[in-house]
Amino acid sequence: MKKPLPRIWILATGGTISYRAVDVKQEGDFDQVRFSIDQLLPQMPEVEQAACLQAEQLFQIGSTSITDGHWLTLARRVQELLDRPDVDGVVITHGTDTMEETAFFLNLVIKSAKPVVLTGAMRPATGLCAEGPLNLLHSVLVASSPDSWGKGVLVVMDEQIFSARDVTKCSTYKVGAFGPTEYGCLGKLVRGQVYYAYAPVRPHTLASEFSLGGLEKLPKVEIVYGYSDCGATLLQAAADAGARGIVYAGTGSGILHPDVRQLYQHHHRDYPVLVRSSRIPRGGVGLNNFLDDDLHGTVAAWDFTPQKARILLKLALTQTEDVETIRKIFARY
């Protein structure tokens, strides 16, 4: 008897994978026409044959328009689907610009060992050599693989499998636009075969202490960029606008501008919780390394990029404002 096909649910949210190019060579911009997942799938018979698919258009937006509200809606829908015995895994199509953020948020709040895979495309659906269909096929294969269980939320792009924790968009235009922040990819796809070499060991999904339970809203956390002569103006603006947390994308090892240092050294209790990350993509920021976090009441982001640190800080702030506890969370995740 033939083995039944895995039952995979596709949630479409928009992004370039669904866009029509003004011209196939992509010399012009993309136009406003977007294809729904029901229009795209019939053009991808290989994807349709790879699993027993159900598809649903959840949003139809570019990923720079994703809000906390979209994250909560998406996460609730993913959880609902994974809780069903007739769903084996979920694939999410998403714009590439903030895919790593949505993936990391889901990685921290979803409670299931079943695979969740995000994918997208750099080339629009009608572009020459559009890579969306192959990325979607690979994502369905990864979501169907028993080896993907328990690995947390994954991003599949350009024949590579990444952990949501460690993936980032690192090119603005190339097809191979995604890469690891510090620790490499988990696996790859070769001729339709899913290969894993590594598994994430930091807490995610079932082992994460964060969940959707009772979460109606997420605390406001802003990112402030450090550069020469930046002063504390933008940080002050973020604090005045009601941020409960600030991620500082510092120079070098997460170094704060002297004006920001002054503020936090003397007044950190009156300011939002500050996480020190770095604007440098590799290397990270350690606690009390190159800056006295104890003196400044600040938190080290370790190897999280500013955009990932922002998500972890948002979730941490749903539980506590205690700096010591938040430090422990950053060290653990």
Indicate the residue among 60 and 265 with the shorter CB distance to ligand ASP: 60
Distances (CA, A) of 277 to 21, 70, 100, 124, 261: 37, 26, 17, 33, 14
Of 96, 119, 144, 168, the one binding ligand ASP by CB under 6 A: 96
Shortest Å, Cβ 127 to ligand ASP: 11
Shortest Å, Cβ 283 to ligand ASP: 27
> Segment contacting ligand ASP (CB under 6 A): 70-78, 91-99, 155-163, 209-217?
91-99
CB 122 within 8 A of CB 16: yes
Distances (CA, A) of 181 to 47, 104, 166, 257, 307: 29, 13, 5, 24, 12
Q: State both tokens at 303.
A: 């190897």
Nearest residue to ligand ASP by CB is 95
Give residues 103-142 in contact with ligand ASP (rule: CB under 6 A): 120, 122
Shortest Å, Cβ 287 to ligand ASP: 33
Cβ within 8 Å of residue 172, ≥6 positions away: none
Shortest Å, Cβ 43 to ligand ASP: 18
> Segment contacting ligand ASP (CB under 6 A): 61-69, 196-204, 295-303, 305-313?
61-69
Shortest Å, Cβ 97 to ligand ASP: 3
C-alpha span between 301 and 55 (Å, rounded): 37
Shortest Å, Cβ 30 to ligand ASP: 8
Tally the C-alpha atoms within 13 A of residue 142's C-alpha that lie toward its C-beta: 36
CB 102 within 8 A of CB 75: no
Binding mask 5-24 for ligand ASP (x = CB under 6 A): ----------xx--------
163 binds ligand ASP (CB under 6 A): no
Give residues 289-328 in contact with ligand ASP (rule: CB under 6 A): none
233 among known catalytic residues: no
Query: What backbone torsions phi and psi does residue 271 show, to the nearest 5 degrees?
Result: -120, 160
**Strand 30-34 and strand 153-157: pairing?**
unpaired
Q: Can you spell out the DSSP letters for 108-144?
A: HH---SS-EEEE--SS-TTSTT--HHHHHHHHHHHHH
Of 95, 127, 245, 272, the one binding ligand ASP by CB under 6 A: 95
Indicate the residue among 41 and 239 with the shorter CB distance to ligand ASP: 41
Q: Can you spell out the DSSP letters for 146-167?
A: GGGTTS-EEEEETTEEEEGGGE
Shortest Å, Cβ 90 to ligand ASP: 19
Catalytic annotation, pick one of 16, 168, 181, 305 = 16
Of 97, 158, 166, 303, the one binding ligand ASP by CB under 6 A: 97
Of 26, 63, 112, 277, the one binding ligand ASP by CB under 6 A: 63
Indicate the residue among 131 and 303 with the shorter CB distance to ligand ASP: 131
Q: State both tokens at 204.
A: 């995610």
How many residues sit in the footprint of ligand ASP (CB under 6 A)?
Answer: 10
How big is the chain by its Cα radius of gyration, in Å? Answer: 20
Mutual orientation of helices 306-317 and 99-109 as an angle, nearest 10°? 30
C-alpha span between 183 and 1 (Å, rounded): 42
> Segment contacting ligand ASP (CB under 6 A): 57-65, 191-199, 269-277, 325-333?
57-65
Interface residues toward ligand ASP, by CB under 6 A: 15-16, 62-64, 95-97, 120, 122
Q: Which residues are catalytic?
A: 16
